[in-house]
């Protein structure tokens, strides 16, 4: 069977958040075939038990030590069979047809390195999740007293892409890893 999307979630003590995340995934992926991996990094709460009891379709990888975010994602990617992979944080909730839209975008743009999506905060406000290329001058402005100078604030605003329109497709230098899809 051809799988459209492999969903990789790294968890560490996120039982309640992960339950909502997984619930939203299974409710919102009716139009695509997918597999879901949860890599638990030695949680001390009931995360592992919750996944086993409520989400039998999830491939659960239980680490006995916290291997870190990148290593845990790599564990799932090695097993992934999807044409596309999304790295999704356990504190995210899928809304609407976001995953189907991202899969369609990646299918239609084979040259795209990755796709991010519009992220919303819990109150519904936009989470600024795109950035321009980080330069040494931006590091200097952002980490020193220079950030307080009014004439330099525009440089930081441009780097953080505060005027970015999340209602259209646009190429960016960096997108948040909270929900990042690759082929």
CA pair distance 111, 128, nearest whole angstrom: 24
Residue 122 lies in a domain: no
Residue 168 lies in a domain: no
Residues 98 and 146 in one domain: no
Residues 133 and 101 in one domain: no
Residues 62 and 30 in one domain: yes
CB 172 within 8 A of CB 118: no
Residues 82 and 152 in one domain: no
Q: Which of 181, 168, 176 is nearest to 120 (CA)?
A: 176
Residues 11 and 71 in one domain: yes
Residue 18 lies in a domain: yes
Question: The CATH number of the domain where 49 resides is what?
Answer: 3.90.550.10
Sign of CA dihedral 34, 121, 116, 118: positive
Residues 136 and 92 in one domain: no
Judged against a pLDDT cut of 90, whether residue 125 lies above it is answered with no
pLDDT reported for residue 82: 97
Residues 144 and 65 in one domain: no
Return the bridge partners of 179, or none: 88
Residue 166 lies in a domain: no
Residue 121 lies in a domain: no
* Percent of the chain at pLDDT exceeding 90: 64
CA pair distance 99, 28, nearest whole angstrom: 8
Residue 75 lies in a domain: yes
Encode pLDDT of 133-182 as tens digits. 777 776 677 677 776 767 666 666 666 666 667 777 878 777 888 899 99
Residues 60 and 140 in one domain: no
CA pair distance 71, 67, nearest whole angstrom: 6
Residue 90 lies in a domain: yes
Residue 69 lies in a domain: yes
Residues 58 and 111 in one domain: yes
Asked which of 23-27, 66-70, 118-122, 155-159 is least confident by mean pLDDT, the reply is 155-159
Residues 103 and 155 in one domain: no
Domain region containing 82:
3-116+175-182
CA pair distance 77, 87, nearest whole angstrom: 9
Residues 64 and 100 in one domain: yes
- Domain total of the chain: 2
Residues 84 and 144 in one domain: no
Interior angle at CA 115, CA 140 and CA 15, nearest 5: 90
pLDDT reported for residue 73: 97
């Amino acid at each position: 069977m051809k799988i459209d999307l492999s969903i990789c979630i790294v968890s560490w003590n996120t039982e309640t958040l992960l339950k909502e995340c997984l619930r939203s995934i299974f409710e919102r992926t009716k139009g695509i075939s997918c597999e879901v991996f949860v890599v638990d990094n030695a949680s001390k709460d009931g995360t592992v038990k919750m996944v086993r009891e409520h989400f039998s379709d999830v491939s659960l990888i239980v680490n006995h030590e916290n291997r870190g975010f990148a290593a845990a994602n790599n564990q799932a990617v090695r097993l992934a069979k999807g044409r596309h992979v999304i790295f999704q944080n356990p504190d995210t909730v899928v809304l609407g047809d976001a995953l189907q839209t991202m899969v369609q975008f990646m299918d239609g743009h084979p040259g795209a390195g990755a796709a991010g999506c519009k992220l919303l905060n819990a109150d519904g406000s936009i989470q600024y999740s795109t950035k321009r290329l980080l330069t040494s001058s931006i590091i200097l402005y952002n980490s020193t007293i220079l950030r307080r100078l009014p004439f330099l604030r525009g440089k930081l605003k441009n780097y953080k892409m505060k005027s970015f329109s999340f209602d259209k497709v646009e190429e960016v230098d960096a997108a948040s890893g909270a929900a990042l899809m690759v082929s």
